[in-house]
Structure 1
Amino acid sequence: MNAPAALTMDNEVQTFTADAWGQLSVRVGRFVDEIAARRDLMTVVGIAATPELAGGRPAGAYSHTTATVTIDAAQTLSPSDDPNQIDLRDRRDRARFPVLTGVAVHEAGHAAHTVRRGRLSKAVGAWAALLEEPRMEGRVVARRPQDRVWLRSSASHLLGSCTASSASSAARLLILVGGRIDAGVYDRCDLADLAEVAGEFLTEKQIGIVVEQTRVAVALDDGDVDGLVRCAESIAAAIVDEFDDADVDSEGSDGDDGAGCSPQHGASEGAGDEIAASGKNTSLRDALAAMARRTAATAQAAEHLTPPSAAAARATTAAENQRQMIAAAGRVASTGRLAHSVRRPTDGELAQSLRLNRAVEGALDRGERTQHIPQAVPPGRMRIRELARREGQIAAGVIPTATPWSRTRRTVVEAPPWAVGIAVDVSQSMEPVLEISAVTAWMVNRAAVDRGAAATVVWNAKAANLPAESIGGAVYVPEAGGVSDGLPEALLALDSRLQLTSGAGTRLVVVITDADLPNLDEIYHQAEQLASSQTRMLWLIAGQINDGAPSQLTDRVGGLPGVTVVELDDPARVADIVGEAIVRLLEAE
């Protein structure tokens, strides 16, 4: 008969058989295999399953030596949770048990993206293990964005009591929390100013070194041990740490490989060095806990496990209304027609278009990634030093670990996706700039062929798509007429065609107008929606036509993040200004 196992929390005891925990381990293991893309892992979920370490027991652990993920059920489940009723392959169960899911995702991330780092000094090895935390989670989120919610939901368990009480603990806070912000796991707006918290124990120079090296480490590829060690060495040289210089294996066989502020990383500074958490520390700790609770509640509400809050319900309703407006505007613009003529581009316009194509192609060129892969067997380039090491290992009677051969893998780095939408005011007062606006739209559309996406919407009282031919030469020139209150519909139509507020990558909206617009509140609302989704906007104000752009529009819209307002004194510069803006954005990504 299977021995019972007890789940104890808050002085309550729930008893389940060892077989129940074994079956749960199998189900969680299948979920872990899916994330890690491996089939050689063993997963163990149970009471006190993780190894006991100095200062406490981590919620989760991964061992390179045995390829085992262990999760402590006492820390990731509540006393009333029945292991027989949990299967993380079910998305509703993932929402029910967000902490268990987050710890499983974290440890699976180590199995998929963390490699052994060999023998390092204790200080460098500890900093390298800390830097690996946000770097690894960044890779997890990049490959599986849907797992970001679980890493956020389990933040308190992964980070523990991550407070600053000394220079080294303040540096750890910058790495573990700030690094996750850099990796796209946490949002900066959810947390306190980390530099202000760490500033009580670190100088500006030390903070700068830790932040810079963390950002470098977060961007490293899997297996770039040398790069990670260089970052760790820079931090170890800048921070006076309590670690000695003895050589140790930085990847202990039973270690957690870095599960946040766990004791093996020195989160506990020693009883004699403990300092009461300051108000800033408490604020940060509370913000992390609030973020975890809020994320878990949102995930549960999305699966209809709990009723959404009033604020969440209002936000959901507003988002749904916005989606319906975008879809409706897209349908209207695709069926609407505004008068236009068609002409062939001039030789000068063709040459300018070719220059823009080359500039965009150059801005999108990310080069190639070179990876040297060591191998124990051919084919590959022989490395004499490793061959001699292998012979020595064989002569000593130990299992050979040397890799005498090496092959090089080169892969082209893909450019980020990008989209450009152009909204052209075709009211009667805009006639002087319609010709060059049409040429600009034609050139941008040609530059986007096989590289990105582009669309042009013209508007007066209503909005309509401007036809475009990506191959060949046909410039569609809209005719001027009507009033100019259709810009909100034009922005919605561009959103419908290019998925501006719901997409990813570089997104730019160019608005060409004389700024004599009657519905500023509606325009500002749509511009705010685009800005909140990190869509950049370039407003070209034809001031020469309207004798200066109205300051009310430029003051309001120009204050939004990512918005640039340019007064257009020379209409002939429209194409150059738009082309330069596109290239700058692509080069910045």
Structure 2
Amino acid sequence: MTSVSAHSRPSGTSPAPAPAASPWSPWSAAWTKQAALLTSRPDACVTVTPAAGGPPGFSYPATAQIHIDADLIGDPTIADPRRPSHRSKVPVAYGVLLHECAHLNHSHWDPPPSVPPVVREAALLLEESRIEGRYRDTRPRDRRWLRRAVTSIIDPADTPTDTPWSAAYAAGLLLARVDARVLYPADVREARRAITTVLGRKLLRDLRTIWREAHAVGDTDTTRMIELGERWCRLLGIDPTTNPDLPVDDGATSTIAAAIAGALDAILHNPADTPEPPGDGPRAGGPRTDRPSIHVDTDTPITWRERDARDAERQAADRLAALLRRARHREPARTREPASAPPGRLRTRAAVTLAAQRAAGAIPTAQPWQRTVRRPVPDPELTVGILIDASGSMEDFAAPMSSAAWIVAQAATRAGATSATLAYGDRITVLIPPGRRPATVRDMRADAGTERFVEACAEADRLLHLSTPGTARLLVVVSDGHYVNPDESQATITRLHHTGCAILWLAPDNKSWPSRVYDHTTTVAVDDPTTCINLIGQAAIDALTRA
């Protein structure tokens, strides 16, 4: 919930998938079944694991993945999650789960890259009460869980309302949920009084008209939601064409408002940058207290030209996806187990013991047969991060490097891996957020004055948890490696390597100015990216082998 969860993520402290031996595994399994039932999506997958300060919940509607912070539950033995009665023991966590299911059911629109950040933020705010209202219409009895989650995670009395923007934000966060019939008027009485004091009755009434119109918008109507976001901004005196960035002089800088804003942009709003022209970003929905901004407004923005993939690029992506799927597959494990009846191999000593037990009238316990049992082994998870260097030294190689990045990103998502693509120069820009497949090739314009490689690695780690053991991780860097601070870059690479993250470096094939080679990387000189697919695939296999 914009405040209760983050539908497609990434917070700097986002949790890693729960390991098989985790005490939260029964919760993950039980809630996965529940989510599949509530969303009618058999591919739904819920992971319950401590978030270590991250949002209470987040989800990836595109891949039907949901993560819930185990701290909302506290003790995994508090209840049996397979029994319906467990919900009353963990009402807040269950409410967050239902909110994320609502996103999976109804968040089927994406703001286009050209949408100004402030409009995107407003549209996503309207999305929160819209999807909860839609969910409540189909399952009215679940209202109490949604309400419990909202009122427990967001304290209306503490919601910032000191400026028009923050007051309007609080109105969209709380008062809109009253019209969505999730909260009761009494839940927001104090907040309504404070909001009205700042906005006035007329402005609040006009904002209410907008969110009530949003509640009637279809699940896939991107255009309409963006229009409502623009109207929201203009009512507050913000012209998106001249002031596209989010207000920074209001309550959004406070802890709670920053958490709300950070959660809102976890799916569709780039958490690290809001460039112009823009890239893609993740959808959000849960409180987050860290909302880093690592670009400087005066820096050169990263730009690109979109085009359809060529046949050779599509074929290369198909081949790489096949390699990745093959690399992820694990053959069933063979184990030998004793058995009391055939088929299998007869063990003479056990057979004699069984005969003696029967002759003596004792209960037979010997198992004279031994059989080989094949048990399926789950395929390991694969995470792929892709970093594209957009600095000026890459100008002559921007086209093939952009092609290589698209091939890897497309293949990774087809193979079921979690991936994200980022470009770095004077700014860091998330081109393809986790959970989304790249639709077009983005030919980068490499004209930045510097390269923020270390910060790009940090952002990729924040999005994908590349430094967190437990999964197979591959970082693909598309760059010539000529950096202002090569020692810091090497230190960053070394740290990732020591955590078990494999690093594949795709460098331009430039004989007049060879690329710098860093330790702990597999470096491949790329002339035509469609010809190095086997090398990329082998690097992924190596990463999976080490997982």
Using the size of structure 1 for normalisation, the TM-score is: 0.39
Higher helix residue share: 1
Using the size of structure 2 for normalisation, the TM-score is: 0.42
- Looking at both structures, which has the greater relative contact order when contacts are Cα pairs under 8 Å and sequence separation is at least 6? 2
